[in-house]
Structures are given as structure tokens and as C-alpha cells.
Structure 1
Amino acid sequence: MNSSKLITFGCVALLSLVLIKLYFVQTWFKSNGKFVSRISSRGNRTVVLTPRSNISTAVVTTPFTVRPTIYPQMPLVTQPTLSPNCSATTRTATVCIVCFIISPPNNFVLRQTIRDTEGSISYLNGFNIKYVFVLAKSTDENINKRILEESEKQKDILFIDYVDTYRKIVMKSLTILQWSSENLPSHYFVSKSDDDVRISKTTLTNHLTKLLNTSNVASPERPTLGKGVENFPILCGHTLVKNGYPTRDQNSRYYLSTDEYKPNTLPSYCNGAMYVTSVATSKLLYASVKQEEIMPMEDVWASGILRMKLGKEDTNIVKLEPGFAFHFPDLSTPQAQAKIIEHLKKEITILKNFNVSYCC
């Protein structure tokens, strides 16, 4: 090979090396000062993002598990223990309801009264029923210690590592969405209520049965999920509020600043005393949560704003008559206990016509 051909060959080889180097530079170095590896098609593989100034420390990790959600996570102190069939009875039912009851930290007596009375109904009208109390921390560490003891004994407390205040009740609703989405099957049902709300479970289960479309069920005591559970609406137990307005009065407990909520009208929503839906719907609501959009009025936020994000207007919220949630706020503990017992006595006269089981 003569010298001219050697020179030509050398130039071609050099040019090829330059092009190859440019290709890898463009492939590995990208904007924003990051070092990014191409993802191999042979299994899960990624690279830790590293500043250019520290390229030599980039580490390939394989396999890599991406967290499936990026929604806000509430830290938990204790969690409830639910039996596999959602109830402590031997009954076989096709539908389970987990009733989440929001309760102030120091309401020990009222929670126990609920357990001993209406909370003892574990099977009704074809539904297994379980109860979970949702609590946030007190500023009094003695109360927090007692809550831990209560939780250890009862196994029915979802205890949030968050100081309890009225304007942070929304964090309890967020926790209900979070915990039910991560721990309950999609075909379960969940309700949110307060511990000063009495619930007619006969009416509640009748309404759920109606919405679940049980026309093909041989026995009225065996409601089935049908096809409606995936798109189950939010069912209001107390009041469906339409055409509402945010309260701009700073002296009101329902005050919403324009920073917290800018529009001058509210979406349709369930009064926070009580609402219920399927876990499948709860998962959709939780998936739409954005940290910066959380607002103090939990009922407007959960059953209104999050619900509207699902893009179905008002087709996924409903109030059936008669209502099944009765709110008795601002009662002393003895008055509240008396109201619970009074309500249960009325319910028992109706329960005689149903197949009912009591736990504990």
C-alpha cells in the first residue's frame, strides 16, 4: 500500500473515531447538568442522576423499583387490624364496609360507647361491617400514650402522626383515602363519618344494595357487586350541597381564603357528617391528590374537588332518601352517650326484621 493510500485510510479512520465519540457524547450528556444513561431493553436498569461535576461517581443500579404513586403520604403511628372477611363473624357476605370514624384524641369514653353499642353490629342485610377510628395526635403526651394503649387493646385505630386541629381534619380524610387505597380490596366499601354522627345502617345498606343493582340476585340478603363497583358514586348520608359558596368571613370556622380556594362557587359535595363510596372510587380520588391543592374544608375537598377531577361532572355523587346520617354536634360526653343509646334502641326495632350478627 503506497503512502497516499495510507494517509487516506488514516484520515477516514480518524474521522470515524471522531463521529463515534460525538455520538456517545450526545447520548450520555444531556441538558440541565445531568448525567443520564440510556435504559437497556434487557430488564429494569437505570442510573442514579449525578451532576456533571461528579460524573465519575455515577452508579448503575439494577433492578430498580419505581414507587407506583407520588401522592402525599401521611405518617402513621398505628394501624387497625382487619380480619380477612372484614368482620369477626362467621357469616358469608359478598360485600364489606369499613366505617372510618373521625374522632378527637381525648374522646376515649365516646369511642368505647360506640364500640359497645352500634359498633357491635358486624353483619347486617348481607353486608359485613368493620369500624376504624381515625385519630391525630394531641399536644398532651399523656393522651397520646393512652391512645397507643387503646390501639393495642382494640386494634381498630388509625393513628396519624399529626397534631389534631379543626382546620387539619382534611389530613384525616387524606389518610382514609391513602390507607384504604393501599390496604383494602377495590370491591370493599368505605365510609367517612364523625363520632358525633349516628348512622342508620339499615337505610345505608338498603341504599347500597339499590345502587349495586341486585336485580339478578336470588336472595335479597346476598347483595352482589355487579358491574357498578368500579364507577360507584359518592353516596351522601347527610346532605348533598349544590350551588354553595366559599365562606370568606375570617371569623368563621369554615373560612376559606382566596389563596386556599380561588373560585367564588363550590362544586357539589357531601356534607362531611357522612359519605360512602367503593374502595375502587377511593383509589381514583387518591390518585388525583396534589399536595398544593389540599384545603381545610375536607368535605368540599374530598367529595367535591377531587371528585370533579374524575371528569364526570355530578354523575358520580348522589343523595338517596331517606338520609341515613344524623349529626348531633356540640354535646357533652354524657349527652352524646345518651344519644347513641337512644339511636340504637330505635334501630333495634328495625333490625328485628333483618338477619343481624353482633361481634364482641
Structure 2
Amino acid sequence: MVILVKSTAPNFFRRELIRRTWGKWCYVEGGLLRVIFVIGKAGDSRTADLLHEESLRNGDILNYDGPDNYGNIAIKTLTGMRWAAENFPDNYLYSSADDDFLVDLGALQAAVDENEHVFGVNSQSGFPIICNYGLLVLPPVNRNPKSKWYISKDEYGWDTYPRSCRGGMYTMSVGLAHRLWLKATDSEAPLRVDDVWITGILREKLFMPAEMVVKPKKSIAIHFTGYKGKRANNIRTFMSKDWTRIYIKFQHKYMCLR
């Protein structure tokens, strides 16, 4: 599995937190795992220099030649999908994630195994889309102009979205990511709510039924809820209780560090 984590140039701390927790594992129960951060153009030369140093040091940053703001988050996601499609076989797995999440790799591996057993990766139906942070069933369209999730009638005319994944993290096959990326290239302008646009609207355009968008039995992706706006001067202790609680659940599994 390759996990493309959407990040922004100044979020050095978040990326390092991931590298020191769930992102440090490269092998879990027979599966290879690779974490890549997708980042747009830095806003100033100092940040750009620091980002360049970080990239050379870690080798896990995918830069794309575009704005790094929220309004272009769909383009950032599509960049990661294209890169995965061009570098991995169709039967590999692709995940999209945000940089403010901790991931329970044990629960993720269990969800993949379960759905691979039910659907298969190379079967006619294909591997499903696993909504690791929650499933949205006909979610309403946000019409509040003050909200960052606001979508006008001109952008999307219906009052509800199709069944889709809640933003944060979702998993699919690389083959499906490739098909969705191709569909996006000949579709109308992307919506800022990229998770709904990709796993709901574009998914329907591929005639993939709603039943193929599934929710895992156990929680997989955990948001940094409660930490917004708080300072943490020591990365070794920040969220240590949360990570320890998650890690204990799957430490019995066979894993290797990067």
C-alpha cells in the first residue's frame, strides 16, 4: 500500500509526528507500506528551502507545481493518484490521508484483509473503497457562503451528495485510483470537497455501485481532535498517550521499521 498524505509546506511538525508514529513502519503482516507527503508550492523562500532540506533528508515528499492552499486540495489529491497509478501495479492499494491523523495500522490491515476476502482485488466487482474515517450516506451540500466547505448551486446543483467517504482517510486499489484520475481529467472542474467528489461523484460516473463504498468494522483513522491551537514543544511527548493506546492494539503483529 502507498499512502499519499496531503500536507502543506509549513506543516513540518505534523509530518515529523507521522514519521515518528504510524509512518515509521514499512512492513505490516506481509504487506509493504509506503507513506508519501503531497505538497504544493511553498509560500516564501525560507519555507521552500526548509522543505527542500526535508525532502532530501527523508525522501518522502512529492511536490506538485501548483498552489498549496485549501482551494486546490482536489488537484493535490489527483496529483497523488496520478503518481501512484504511474508507479505501482493496479492490484496494489492506494490510500489518501490528511496530515492531522493518527492511523491504527492493525485495524487498517484487518479491514484490507476482510474486504479482500469478500471482494478480491482482481475480481470482476473489484476492491471497494474503504472509508477509514467514516461513511457519508447522501450527505447534504453545504450552502453556507461563510463555510470553507461551501458549494454553490452553479458548482453542484443537487442538494445531496452521493454515498461517499468522510474526509481524512480512505483506501482503494491503485487500479481504481487510476480510473478515477482518468475520469477526473475529462470531467468538469473539481469540487473543493475532494473526498466526496472523488469517492462519490466520480465514482458514480464509473458506474461503481454505492455498495462498494464501505465502512470498516473498527475505527482506523483518528483525528487530532482536542489538540487544535495547542502548542507542543517536544515531539516525543505530543500525543504520546494517544499513540501508545493505538500501538498497543496491534503490537503483536509482525512489523518492521523503515
TM-score by length of 1: 0.66
Classify 1:327/1:103 alpha carbon distance in 2 versus 1 (closer, same or farther; 3 Å).
same
CA contact (8 A) 1:192 1:274 kept: yes
User: Is the aligned partner of 1:124 residue 2:42?
Assistant: no
Q: Deviations over 1:91-126 (max 9, x none)?
A: xxxxxx111111121111221222122211111122
Matches within 5 A, 1:1-360: 97-213=1-117, 227-228=122-123, 231-289=126-184, 290=186, 292-328=188-224, 330-332=228-230, 334=232, 337=235, 338=237, 340-359=239-258
Moved more, 295-304 or 104-113: 104-113
Distance 2:125 2:240 in 1: 36
Distance 2:234 2:211 in 1: 36
Distance 1:155 1:229 in 2: 36
SS at match of 1:137: coil
Runs of at least 4 residues off by over 2 Å = 225-230, 290-293, 329-333, 335-344
Distance 1:348 1:246 in 2: 36
CA contact (8 A) 1:198 1:340 kept: no
Distance 1:282 1:335 in 2: 38
Distance 1:318 1:336 in 2: 37
Residue ranges of structure 1 left out of the alignment (5+ in a row) = 1-96, 215-224
AA of the residue aligned to 1:163: P
SS at match of 1:106: coil
CA contact (8 A) 2:22 2:105 kept: no
Classify 1:335/1:227 alpha carbon distance in 2 versus 1 (closer, same or farther; 3 Å).
farther
Classify 1:262/1:335 alpha carbon distance in 2 versus 1 (closer, same or farther; 3 Å).
farther
**Which of 1 and 2 has greater Rg?**
1
Aligned residue number for residue 71 of structure 1: none
Residue ranges of structure 2 left out of the alignment (5+ in a row) = none
TM-score by length of 2: 0.91
Distance 2:187 2:121 in 1: 34
Distance 1:336 1:239 in 2: 31
Distance 1:102 1:336 in 2: 23
Pick 1 or 2: higher relative contact order, CA cutoff 8 A, min separation 6.
Answer: 2
**Alignment: residue pair count:** 253
Distance 2:22 2:190 in 1: 32
RMSD: 2.1
Give identity over the alignment, percent.
29
